[in-house]
Amino acid sequence: MSITGRRGIVFSFDLLIAFIVMCLILCLILVNMNLRADSAVSAQRSFALQHAALSVADTLVQNADLNNPALGSAYFGEDKRRVFGNVIDGTLLAKADFAGISLGKGIFLKEVSLRYKSGEYGQIHRSPLPAGSCTAAERFVVVKGAAIAKGATEEKAILTVVACEGGI
Site residues (vs other proteins, CB under 8 A):
6, 9-11, 13-15, 17-18, 21-22, 24-25, 28, 39, 43-44, 46-47, 50-51, 54, 58, 61, 84-87, 117, 137-142, 156, 158
DSSP 68: -
Q: Minimum distance between the CB of residue 94 and other proteins, rounded to whole angstroms? A: 21
* CA angle at 24 for the pair 20 and 29, rounded to the nearest 5°: 150
DSSP 71: G
CB 162 within 8 A of CB 54: no
CB 141 within 8 A of CB 61: yes
Length of the chain: 168
Residue 25 vs 66, nearer CB to other proteins: 25
Residue 36 vs 95, nearer CB to other proteins: 36
Residue 34 vs 44, nearer CB to other proteins: 44
CB 113 within 8 A of CB 103: no
Residue 27 vs 129, nearer CB to other proteins: 27
Count the neighbouring beta carbons within 10 Å of the beta carbon of residue 124: 23
φ, ψ dihedrals at 47, nearest 5°: -65, -45
Q: Minimum distance between the CB of residue 139 and other proteins, rounded to whole angstroms? A: 6
Q: Minimum distance between the CB of residue 142 and other proteins, rounded to whole angstroms? A: 6
Q: Minimum distance between the CB of residue 67 and other proteins, rounded to whole angstroms? A: 25
Residue 62 vs 91, nearer CB to other proteins: 62
Q: Minimum distance between the CB of residue 72 and other proteins, rounded to whole angstroms? A: 16
Q: Where are the beta strands (DSSP E) in the chain?
A: 74-77, 82-89, 107-116, 121-126, 131-144, 154-166
